[in-house]
Amino acid sequence: MLAFNPNAEKPIIAVTGSAGKTMVKAMVSAILRERWVVFESKDYYNTVDKTLVHAEEIGFVHRAAVLEYGMAFPNAITEHCRIIRPNIGVITNVGLAHIGNFENKIERLAAAKSELIEGMNPSGILLLNADDANSKLLHTHNFVGKIFTVGINSRADYQANNIAYSEKGMTFTLVLQGDEYPFLIPVFGEHNVYNALLAIGVADQLGFLPAEMQTGLQTMKKPNHRLAIHRLRDEISVIDDTVHAHPPAVKAAIDVLLHLAKQKKMAILGSMPELGARTYQDYDDIGRYVADKKLDFLYTFGKSSVHIGEGAVKAGYPASQVKHYKQSHIKVMQREIIHSIEPGMTIMVKGASRLNMYEIVQFLCDYYKVK
């Protein structure tokens, strides 16, 4: 069976996964807008009720639609696909987000992600992450369309090489249509290279030129509060990553902090929701990661995040460099945190949106505002 024909059928691109949905959606839309009028769902509008609204908003004028399909429980993606059936599916990864709602079994969570494969056009196009071990649990055996992979460490259809940090974001090279092309994306972190590869894969399968991909990615509108960098006075920098938090994303944000910081480093980490029985194990793991990376200060925020600090101390991190605050004590934290901040320091704030940790970012930006 042949893959769908984008010239005869409107491309409906649905993006799901434990992390990266919003960024991939933004990247795909940025490239496609180089040539087409595109319907793009708003950032984080990824619930079933939002998909019902999108079904009414997608019109004749739109040459393609790019949507996020979120899920916290089984059958959510099935319902998304019933409302708007995609013909291009992207699964960014299968991580630990919401795993507490799936009996703490990664196989069950992967089955829920696989609802996109089962609900999309069976002769469509599917893009997967070859480096993500859990993505091998996805139910691809009955899919008769075309499957393409992206990767950095594994052989893949779209494989990035020469990855590096620059002042403006990440750079990498990629072989497309037999030739090697350089890319720059205006966001930081190796995880965002995977997101860019998925967007490039979609665009390539839709017949876009490498130059259109390069321009689209360089000029993309970045989602708010996703590793946004604020340069403040006294050469202090604040990294705002205050939308979502689950273990791999927290580690990825810490890695960005390590790459960007030129002097001392502080992490302010919030609680991670819906980890279920894995909660203490995963918080311990993040604590060990902080200790291993030798951050200069660790602040934790929210009820259960105290276990991150405990895990760090058990791993040999100095207890004097750890402080914990409940969510109700955010004002106290703001007053006290400045006593640890020095000129030249880089501070990374990472947490789920429900914790309102952007208030901490805003406080720091106001307090250290360039005069």
- Sequence-distant (≥ 6) Cβ neighbours of residue 161 within 8 angstroms: 172, 173, 174
The pLDDT tens digits for 144-160 are: 999 999 999 999 999 99
User: Reading across the β-sheet that carries 158-165, which strands appear in turn?
Assistant: 38-40, 64-68, 12-16, 88-91, 125-129, 146-151, 158-165, 170-176, 179-185
Section 175-194 average pLDDT: 96
> In which band, very low, low, confident or very high, does the pLDDT at 1 lie, cut at 50, 70 and 90?
very low
Candidates 226, 234, 302; CA nearest to 264 is 234
The pLDDT tens digits for 267-279 are: 999 998 767 667 7
Instruction: Average the pLDDT over each of 242-246, 337-341, 365-369 and give the range with the smallest value.
Output: 242-246
> Would you say residue 62 has pLDDT above 90?
yes
> In which band, very low, low, confident or very high, does the pLDDT at 224 lie, cut at 50, 70 and 90?
confident
Instruction: Average the pLDDT over each of 4-13, 122-131, 253-262 and give the range with the smallest value.
Output: 4-13
> Would you say residue 40 has pLDDT above 50?
yes
- Ranked by mean pLDDT, the top range of 71-75, 80-84, 276-280 is 80-84
Candidates 40, 45, 32, 132; CA nearest to 80 is 45
C-alpha to C-alpha distance for 145 and 2, rounded to whole angstroms? 7
Domains, in order of start, for the chain? 12-218 (3.40.1190.10), 228-367 (3.90.190.20)
Average confidence score pLDDT of the chain: 93
More confident residue, 139 or 353: 139
> In which band, very low, low, confident or very high, does the pLDDT at 2 lie, cut at 50, 70 and 90?
low
pTM assigned to the model = 0.91
> Would you say residue 184 has pLDDT above 70?
yes
More confident residue, 9 or 361: 361
Number of Cβ within 10 Å of residue 6's Cβ equals 17
Would the CA dihedral through 85, 1, 196, 252 be positive or negative?
Answer: positive
> For position 153, what pLDDT does the model report?
96
Percent of the chain whose predicted confidence (pLDDT) is above 70: 98
Number of Cβ within 10 Å of residue 293's Cβ equals 15
C-alpha to C-alpha distance for 359 and 356, rounded to whole angstroms? 6
Q: What are phi and psi of 158, to 5 degrees?
A: -125, 100
> For position 145, what pLDDT does the model report?
95
C-alpha to C-alpha distance for 66 and 76, rounded to whole angstroms? 18
